[in-house]
Chain A
Amino acid sequence: MSPISRRKLITGGLAATAGVAGLAAADRLAHRYGLVPPDGRVCFGAGETLTYAAQRLLTRHSQAREFPRSMISKTPFANEVAPPSREFLRHQAAGFADWRLAVDGMVARPMTFSLADIKSLPFRSQITEVACEEGWSYIAEWIGTPLVEVLNEAGVLPQARYLVYYSIQPDWWESVDMADALHPQTLLTWGMNDGDLPVGFGGPLRLRVPRQLGYKSVKYITRITATDSLQKFGKGLGSASPEGGYAWYAGI
């Protein structure tokens, strides 16, 4: 090896110091502006943080692509879910008349909504694509109440930074940041393609988050909790997905 010159040593040392200082500063800034995902400290956390931070800076207010009615898939695929719990089967037998959605945590007025309550709020429909992390996809019309309408009813507090949502099925829960929670396309979905939302596709109530992959759109929603920190939920990684090895942020 050729001897390293003094100039090379000094410039190299300066560059390395600047690099480390720059990384530390970037890390502090990312924390201050909420650009570190809850699974940003585990293995692969660096890449995950870069992805989440970059997408949040670019896509905070962007709208998921919507499609013309002619592009609605004739053969949507419901995907498989775990066998329905006894509790779900009881609701299904009763035609979901007693289905309730609880909204609690950092809200001014913790509330419980029936399906009729939710449907009495302003609702909309949108034709968006469900894309699975496996690679397949379909397009459907989704009819539902924007999550933000329900959050306004309960008076979500300004300190809330995440929304945790639970399925009636055990160990199936997810969370999104407020950019996705308050997004106009994030729907508490109860209808699909001009009819009721079929059970296979998440009926009677599914939270559709169209700017993220399918696994963030949890089926059979019964509870929503607003929080300023995800530390106390499960293992503190944000949702059930990172506990099973999958990324919390599924925008890619």
Chain B
Amino acid sequence: MPATTLSRKTEATRHTAVVRVTHWITVLAFLALLITGGEIVISHPRFYWGEVGNVRTTPAFTLPIPSSRDTVPTGYGYVMPDQNGWSRYLHFEAAWVLVLTGVVYGIAGVWSGHFRKDLLPERRDWRWSAYWQRMARYLRRAPLDAREDRSYNVLQRTAYIAVIFVLFPLVIWTGLAMSPSFTSAFPLTVILLGGRQTARTLHFFLSWALLLFLVVHVTMVALSGFRSRMRAMITGRIAEPRSADAGEQI
């Protein structure tokens, strides 16, 4: 059926293969990092500013959770099982997957113009009122306008840019700043942050920021049509190829 083939071609691909593959690899790596990171925190749920901190110094704050070490005073009468061994192995392996995937995505994104065309806010939106207007429409639960099925609005673009170019680089930086070997070769990575414990505390906050993004992101996907958004990120297409389902999109 040549007509169908033709209409398929004109239905622009919503997400390129590189974006889709790197997206899902990043999902897996990030979830692994989140779970193992949480396990590692449990072995010392106290946070400090500066270079040093331990159970004999005053923490900046303490998480109200039990610990997997009996040397940490938590107020709980029991000690959680130690999960740090495999958690640390998997944390660093997933970090490699995340970084290498990010490199592929970054090069492809510059090469194809993905960042400039799809993620950089459009020129006419470079003003605060564009942000407020879009936010007001979200709050009114106004339906998506036609363009938003094929392109991101200013709030989405800004959020993705912030995650890709600010949060992920910072979480990688603060992670490396905790490596005694890496910082022996590149001491500025930790000195510029103000110390090893500051790097650890920032790493913790940045992880929460990324988790917050994940929750909002998945919520918005669910609210705007879970099936069609998932289809777009898995197959790349936004509409069912069959004409019978065409009404669903409107």
Contacts and interface: CB of A to CB of B under 8 A. Distances in A.
Interface of A: 1-2, 43-44, 46-48, 50-51, 55, 58-59, 62-65, 67, 71, 73, 75-77, 79-80, 129, 131-139, 210-213, 244-247, 251-252
15 contacts: A43-B89, A46-B93, A47-B93, A58-B185, A59-B184, A62-B184, A65-B190, A77-B54, A77-B55, A135-B200, A136-B53, A136-B55, A137-B52, A137-B196, A252-B178
A78 to B, nearest CB: 9
Contacts of A211: 180-181, 184
Given A55-B181, A62-B184, A137 B92 contact: no
Contacts of B52: 71, 73, 129, 137-139
Contacts of A212: 180-181
Given A65-B184, A251-B182, A134 B69 contact: yes
Contacts, number: 131
A136 B54 contact: yes
Nearest to B68: A134
Residue among A59, A134, A244, A252 with the most chain B CB within 10 A? A134
B88 A133 contact: yes
A212 B89 CA distance: 15
Q: Is the interface of B mostly helix, strand, loop or mixed?
A: helix
Contact of A47 (B41, B53, B70, B96): B96
B103 to A, nearest CB: 13
B92 A51 contact: yes
A133 B84 contact: yes
Given A75-B54, A79-B71, A135 B180 contact: no
B44 interface: yes
Contacts of A47: 89-90, 92-97
B96 A50 contact: yes
Contacts of B96: 46-47, 50-51
B124 interface: no
B51 A129 contact: yes
Nearest to B17: A8
Residue among B41, B184, B200 with the most chain A CB within 10 A? B184
A137 B85 contact: no
A134 B84 contact: yes
A76 B56 contact: yes
